[in-house]
Amino acid sequence: MHILSIMNHKGGVGKTTTTLNVAAALNESGQRVLLLDLDSQCSASFAMGLSRQELTSSPSIADVLFNDRDVTDTCYHNVWPGIDLVPASIDLAHAGLRLNSENGGLQQLSQALSDRSITETYDTVLLDCPPAISSVTLNALMASTDLLIPTVPSYLSMQGLKSIGEVVSRTRSDYDNTLALSGIALTRIDRHRSMMEDATREIRNHYHRNVFETAIPEDQVVEEAQKRHQSLFTYAPSSKAAKQYRALTGEITQRWANYDAVLGGIQGVTSSSTVSSSLP
């Protein structure tokens, strides 16, 4: 089972959109998918159709992190076809007061997702991380086998990628973590903006194969689909964004297949030095 964190501590980069549509594309290819909304803004939960009342009155991922409930107790089944959801809540905003390395709080999610009820039910778990480095984000990184970083090409995004690389490296070294970088996904591409084209070239030249070939275009149907609580593959399957998210997901799963082949089929990626690169 692959556990994929989708993370960028900069907002507006298409993080939640990427999580939702990679989940839908994985399901389209036959995978059993669980999505965890770890952002206190609850964007993924709202986009999948949960109401504010449901999010305030029902158990959430916060209850899992605070060790009050199991993942299965908080899960909404088939919220989208073939995709189960553990929703977020505003309580995640206070997680820093309850989760720390001294009380084992950074391992809560890892322990919860190692339960057989999860590992035997799902092929992939997607974690929509908050747009900040926090105890919730560290929980996600500690629990994950893989990391996907969506980013809008710009000068500032280069600086952000470097800081994410530092966090990942520190997590690996401080906690003997084996997180692998699946790749960097370029999102919200506007071909009419020359500065964005320049930034795209710079990111590709600097990070080479760590950057996926597929880039996601700016497309108004993305917001329209979310307003209607649908994936792009349901709402606008022929749109440019849908086609590119399908292609991106194909690249992701191909990289996973290569990783697993290198490791002789052993579950998860065990060494960044052998099968993935840190962000320099």
Q: What is the pLDDT of residue 277?
A: 47
Lowest average pLDDT, out of 152-156, 174-178, 211-215, goes to 174-178
Q: What is the pLDDT of residue 256?
A: 94
Q: What is the pLDDT of residue 176?
A: 77
Is residue 23 scored above 50 in pLDDT? Answer: yes
Is residue 271 scored above 80 in pLDDT? Answer: no
Q: What is the pLDDT of residue 175?
A: 81
Span 58-70, mean pLDDT? Answer: 92
Work out the pLDDT band at 184, boundaries 50, 70, 90. Answer: very high
More confident residue, 277 or 225: 225
Q: What is the pLDDT of residue 260?
A: 75
Is residue 266 scored above 90 in pLDDT? Answer: no
Is residue 192 scored above 50 in pLDDT? Answer: yes
Domains defined along the chain, listed by start: 2-255 (3.40.50.300)
Span 243-254, mean pLDDT? Answer: 97
pTM metric for this prediction: 0.90
The percentage of the chain sitting over the pLDDT mark of 70, rounded to a whole number, equals: 92
Span 100-108, mean pLDDT? Answer: 75
Q: What is the 3-state secondary structure (H, E, C) of the chain?
A: CEEEEECCCCCCCCHHHHHHHHHHHHHHCCCCEEEEECCCCCHHHHHCCCCHHHHHHCCCHHHHHCCCCCHHHCCEEEEECCEEEECCCHHHHHHHHCCCCCCCHHHHHHHHHCCHHHHCCCCEEEEECCCCCCHHHHHHHHHCCEEEEEECCCHHHHHHHHHHHHHHHHHHHHHCCCCEEEEEEEEEECCCCHHHHHHHHHHHHHHHHHEEEEEEECCCHHHHHHHCCCCHHHHCCCCHHHHHHHHHHHHHHHHHHHHHHHCCCCCCCCCHHHHCCCCC
The percentage of the chain sitting over the pLDDT mark of 90, rounded to a whole number, equals: 69
Work out the pLDDT band at 102, boundaries 50, 70, 90. Answer: low
